A = this chain, B = another copy of it.
Amino acid sequence: MTITILTEKELRSCVEIDREAMEAVAEGFRGLGRGEAVMPPILRLDVKEANGEMDVKTAYVPGLDSFALKVSTGFFDNYKLGLPSLSGMMTLLSAKSGQVEAVLLDNGYLTDVRTALAGAIAADALARPDAAVAGIMGTGLQARLQLQALTLVRPIQRALIWGRDLMKAEACALEMTEKLGIPVQAVASGEALCAEADIVVTTTPARSPILEGKWLRAGMHITAMGADADEKNEVAPNALERADRLIVDRTSQCASLGELRSALAAGVVREDQAVELGEILVGKAEGRRSSAEITLCDLTGTGVQDTAIALFAHRRALERGFGTTIKT
């Protein structure tokens, strides 16, 4: 028996934000939508002494030869050690025998990619076909990746960036103008951003809302991907109330960790209003029903995305002869 070890550098050269990787992740969502995927609740460990946490996700998707176990860590005092806060790795196991097939030492890179691709999949399923103006709230890595991913699925002609720190928004706008070759501008308020954007993606760790329901306009699509914990909340409950269609990656997760949680607590939506993205992808549920509807998608990140991207990365790496082989 042999196991393949892949490093972040190797994985970065194999996997990027493109249609092929997006299709792999969409297939994971479809497995969830068909009701076939087995996805246990997230395992979470807190290390309070180091202001740290570990999340472990997994999912088995019938039809795929392997499944991933994904570890993400966030140790928020790491800046004192000169280290990034976020890290992690994935393990790929055979769905036939349970044997470990590969260890993907990605330091969180594949999570970044599959998270951005989920944003593209949501926009592809839900945004108006002619959506041309993207609005990104937040100025971090996901702000950049989500914008890039949107360009895969919609004819994005320009983009707006808002952040609490205008300087950071301007730096992000400059960088993305160069990278994507379209005008990207910083804006001073979320309201100004919503006044122009056809698609809004919120990408922050906010604990109180940065997006208000009254800013929404007919025909908009919103993806909220920042909240993944029970203290986070980017989107005001009145925005979920106002949306015509409320979509989630996984209802049970969103009800406890996502935007759905705050809206349920506020009593302005019911859990049975939420439709899962995978159900839309397989035709079991309706997405957008008219060009005037407001669609809002709450993403918390799922194990099926991890399994999908890990398999995709492993296959690409093997094709290209990457990896260190360990005899066990």
Q: Which residues of A contact B (CB under 8 A)?
A: 3, 5, 7-9, 38, 40-41, 43-50, 52, 54, 56, 58-60, 62, 67, 69, 71, 73-75, 78, 81, 83, 87-89, 91, 93, 95-100, 103, 105, 107, 324, 326-328
> Considering the chains assembled together, what is the distance between the CA atoms of A43 and B44 in angstroms?
10
B69 to A98, Cβ gap below 8 A?
no
Q: Assess whether A71 is in contact with B91, with CB atoms less than 8 Å apart.
A: yes
- Report the separation of the CA atoms of residues A87 and B99 in the bound assembly, to the nearest whole angstrom: 6
CA distance A324 to B103 in the complex (A): 13
Asked whether, in the complex, the Cβ of A46 is within 8 Å of the Cβ of B54, the reply is no
Contact partner of A5 (CB less than 8 A), chosen from B78, B88, B326, is B326
Quote the shortest CB–CB distance from A21 to chain B (angstroms).
21
If A69-B56, A75-B97 touch, does A328 touch B45 (CB 8 Å cutoff)?
no
Verify A54–B327 contact, CB threshold 8 A.
no
- List the B side residues contacting A58 at CB < 8 Å: 43, 45, 54, 56
The 14 listed contacts between A and B (C-beta, < 8 Å) are A5-B326, A7-B328, A8-B328, A40-B43, A47-B67, A47-B98, A49-B62, A56-B58, A78-B98, A87-B98, A87-B99, A89-B91, A105-B326, A105-B328
- Select A95's contact among B47, B60, B74, B78, beta carbons within 8 Å: B47
Query: In the complex the two chains form, is B60's CB within 8 Å of A47's CB?
Result: yes
Contacts of A99 in B (CB 8 A): 73, 83, 87
Residue of chain B at shortest CB distance from A73 = B98
A326 engages B324 (CB within 8 Å): yes
**Residues of chain B contacted by A8 (CB below 8 angstroms):** 328
In whole angstroms, how far apart are the Cα atoms of A48 and B100 in the complex? 18
When C-beta atoms are compared, the residue in chain B nearest to A62 turns out to be: B49
